[in-house]
Amino acid sequence: MEWISNLNSSDWISMVNALATLVLSFFVYKSTNKASEAAVKTVNLTEQTFLLNQSMIDDKEEEKRIYMTSLKYQYVKILIKRSGDLLKAIKPSEDMIIHRNLSVLDYKHCISPENLALCFNEYEVKKITDAWFNFEMYLEEHFKETYSGDEPRFLAAYAADSIDNFMLINEMMTGLQKEINH
């Protein structure tokens, strides 16, 4: 212990400095360690938040899928009914029977273009839209409230395209209904 008494003031300052550095290093180490633990906890919390958000997104997507399937099912039913009614109306070979059937028939499907696009794929939308457009053209060109002479004879003669279109729609919708029910 004699060496302690032989220390000059510069040595004492160096020793105090070394001791202060040691104490400061200890506190920095403890602080860094706590910061590191906090960072690990933050990472874990971030991962949990991400998983929760992903779960919420998945739930919303499932909810949307269920909604769209339900909506599509309803529209499929409407299109089966309307196409079936139209087939019954225009399939007879007698013009006057077709005229009578068309006079009392509500033939529009009443599905907005937006909902068609939401619920059906591009091919289905095209076939549905084309079928009703072609039928409206058929009505515009050949259907009148009243006829004179042999004018109504064109109703049966020009119904083939509409019959084919609505048979396709009916078959397509029946297939979609089976898919949805499974």
| Full pLDDT tens readout for the chain, 182 residues | 676 777 787 877 887 888 888 888 888 888 888 888 888 889 899 999 999 999 999 999 999 999 999 999 999 999 999 999 999 999 988 888 998 999 898 888 899 999 999 999 999 999 999 999 999 999 998 888 776 666 656 788 899 999 999 999 999 999 999 999 88
Torsion, CA 40, CA 45, CA 48, CA 49, rounded to 10: -140
Please report the pLDDT score of residue 1 as a whole number.
Answer: 64
Given this model, what pLDDT does residue 17 score?
85
Between CA 77 and CA 105 the distance in angstroms is: 17
Q: How far is CA 182 from the centre of its chain?
A: 19
Q: Which helix (H) or strand (E) holds 60?
A: helix 9-90
Q: How far apart are the first and last CA of the chain?
A: 93
Read off the pTM: 0.69
pLDDT of residue 164: 96
Give dist(CA 7, CA 50) in Å, integer.
61
CB hemisphere CA count around 167 (13 angstroms): 8
Which sequence spans correspond to the domains of the chain?
8-181
